[in-house]
Amino acid sequence: FTQNQQLLIYDWLDALRPLEEVSPMRVYELPTLPRFNWLFRRQLDFWMSRGIADPKARDTTITLYTDMDAMLGSLNFTDTSTIRLLLIDRDGNVYWEDIGAFSEGKLQGLEAVLATL
């Protein structure tokens, strides 16, 4: 939700990328921002893409410009003070969810869910 959360994302990506090699899971980073005018969106997209050096990360980063209140409400998110992680299928079914900084315990919870799918 905010640039200062990127370090949390990097920690998670380091742990999640290896899981892509051994499971059907795919990791996407979804920076989620309010609807801005088209010119500001184009500028922001340009600067964000320039700031992502890793080609795989760039290919799997999809910026969402959306009605933040509607999105947060539909997902039952109460705030944007930290990152959120979701394991979902193509139909939008949520199998695992967590928030905030990486921990081994959180990763083990995700791995346990993946083992059942």
Q: What is the pLDDT of residues 41-90, one digit of tens each?
A: 788 777 777 767 777 877 888 888 889 889 889 888 888 899 999 999 99
**Cβ pair 83, 3 in contact under 8 A:** no
Task: Provide the token pair at 59.
Answer: 């290919």
Pairing type for strands 94-99 and 64-66 reads unpaired
Map residue 83 onto helix, strand or coil.
coil
Q: Is the pLDDT of residue 40 over 80?
A: no
Reported confidence tier of residue 106, pLDDT bands at 50, 70, 90: very high
Q: Return all residues near 15 (Cβ < 8 A) that are at least 6 apart.
A: 102, 107
The residues that bridge with 9 in the sheet, in sequence order, are: none
